């Protein structure tokens, strides 16, 4: 079976359960876990039930694909993200994105937690991702190309939709939000970076660093989707004093940013 056939089989399983045609898809990453409370859920299908769908095994929550409505607009949401550092292959990490594509999703909205390397950033800030550097992660399109997904050599000159970034910037004041813009540097994790690595990442032109998003974005761009992504800055990579970063601190900062992230995502979805 080809990857394309697997994706189509997974999508067919979902379509049998709902006729909803969601133009937008949301990856409920860090900082958006509670966004599911904003979704009027029509169906929620655990990943384990969907043919060929990889599933997360951490903390007994395998993840689920949701079809429903946000602000009256049909959406698809991935609740539970698959990270490369968990041992998923790059092909598995992007499988859910391709299923969203097969369900008709044309715009993908993504959130993540990231470490700030821009000295003007503080914990809790939100950064709109304008571009990424993926050289430190495995490109998920490595391997035989299946033309049905898109080009062998996809253009990456504008992975994040300039139009959606502008829309978010226009909406920010009406929502009382201050937003940064910047470049996201993708790493595999699961270790946080050393001081030298954070300095290198800054030198290479990034503003934030994190362990997700770039592989998903690459797959989405190949499919021809518009991508909008933002990071909540959960820790500061470059600092002179104590530099210990813990998962708890990252989760806490992401949680604090949730209401702001959710407000922005809802406002965007209303206008897509
Ligand atoms: N580095 C990598 N990934 C992260 C970080 C970080 O500092 N913070 C949250 N995710």
Residue boundaries of the structural domains of the chain: 3-271
**Which among 86, 118, 123, 211 is the best mutation to test ligand 1's pocket, defined by most ligand atoms within 8 Å of the CB?**
211
Closest residue CA from atom 3 of ligand 1: 210
Q: How far apart are CA 64 and CA 44, in angstroms?
A: 6
Residue 250 has a CB neighbour count (10 Å cut-off) of 22
CA 80 – ligand 1 centroid, Å: 18
The predicted pLDDT at position 243 comes to 65
CA 79 – ligand 1 centroid, Å: 20
CATH architecture of 3-271: 3-Layer(aba) Sandwich (3.40)
| HSE value, Cβ hemisphere, 13 Å, CA-based, for 265 | 37
Closest residue CA from atom 10 of ligand 1: 114
Rounded average pLDDT over 58-78: 85
CA 208 – ligand 1 centroid, Å: 8
Closest residue CA from atom 5 of ligand 1: 115
CA 247 – ligand 1 centroid, Å: 9
CA 218 – ligand 1 centroid, Å: 20
Q: What share of the chain is helix, strand, coil (3-state, %, to 5)?
A: 35, 25, 40
- End-to-end C-alpha distance for the chain, whole angstroms: 35
Q: Per-residue pLDDT for 252 more than 90? A: no
Q: Per-residue pLDDT for 182 more than 60? A: yes
Report the chain's mean pLDDT, rounded to a whole number. Answer: 91
28-55: b (≥16 Cβ within 10 Å) or e = bbbbbbebbebbeebeebebeebebbbb
193 band by pLDDT with thresholds 50, 70 and 90: very high
Q: How far apart are CA 89 and CA 86, in angstroms?
A: 9
Residues 107/164, Cβ–Cβ less than 8 Å: yes
Closest residue CA from atom 6 of ligand 1: 115
DSSP 8-state code for residue 247: H
CA 262 – ligand 1 centroid, Å: 21
Q: Per-residue pLDDT for 61 more than 60? A: no
List residues near ligand 1 (CB under 6 A): 113-115, 187, 189, 192-193, 209-211, 234-235, 237, 245, 250
């Amino acid at each position: 079976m080809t990857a394309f056939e697997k994706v189509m089989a997974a999508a067919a399983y979902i379509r049998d359960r709902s006729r909803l045609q969601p133009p937008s898809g949301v990856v409920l990453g860090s900082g958006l876990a509670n966004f599911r409370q904003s979704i009027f859920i029509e169906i929620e299908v655990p990943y384990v039930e969907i043919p060929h769908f990889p599933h997360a095994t951490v903390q007994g929550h395998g993840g689920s694909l949701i079809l429903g409505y946000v602000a009256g607009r049909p959406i698809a949401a991935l609740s539970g993200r698959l990270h490369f550092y968990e041992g998923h292959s790059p092909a598995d990490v992007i499988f859910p994105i391709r299923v969203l594509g097969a369900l008709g999703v044309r715009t993908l909205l993504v959130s993540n937690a990231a470490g700030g390397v821009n000295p003007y950033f503080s914990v809790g800030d939100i950064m709109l991702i304008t571009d990424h550097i993926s050289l430190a992660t495995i490109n998920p399109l490595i391997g035989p190309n299946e033309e049905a997904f898109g080009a062998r050599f996809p253009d990456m000159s504008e992975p994040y939709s300039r139009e959606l970034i502008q829309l978010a910037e226009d909406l920010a004041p009406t929502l009382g939000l201050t937003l940064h813009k910047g470049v996201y540097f993708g790493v595999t994790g699961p270790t946080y970076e050393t001081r030298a690595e954070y300095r290198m990442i800054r030198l290479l032109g990034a503003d934030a660093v994190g362990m997700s998003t770039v592989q998903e974005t690459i797959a989405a761009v190949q499919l021809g989707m518009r991508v909008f992504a933002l990071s909540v800055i959960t820790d500061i990579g470059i600092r002179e004093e104590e530099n210990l970063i813990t998962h708890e601190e990252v989760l806490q900062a992401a949680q604090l940013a949730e209401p702001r992230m959710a407000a922005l995502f809802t406002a965007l979805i209303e206008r897509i």
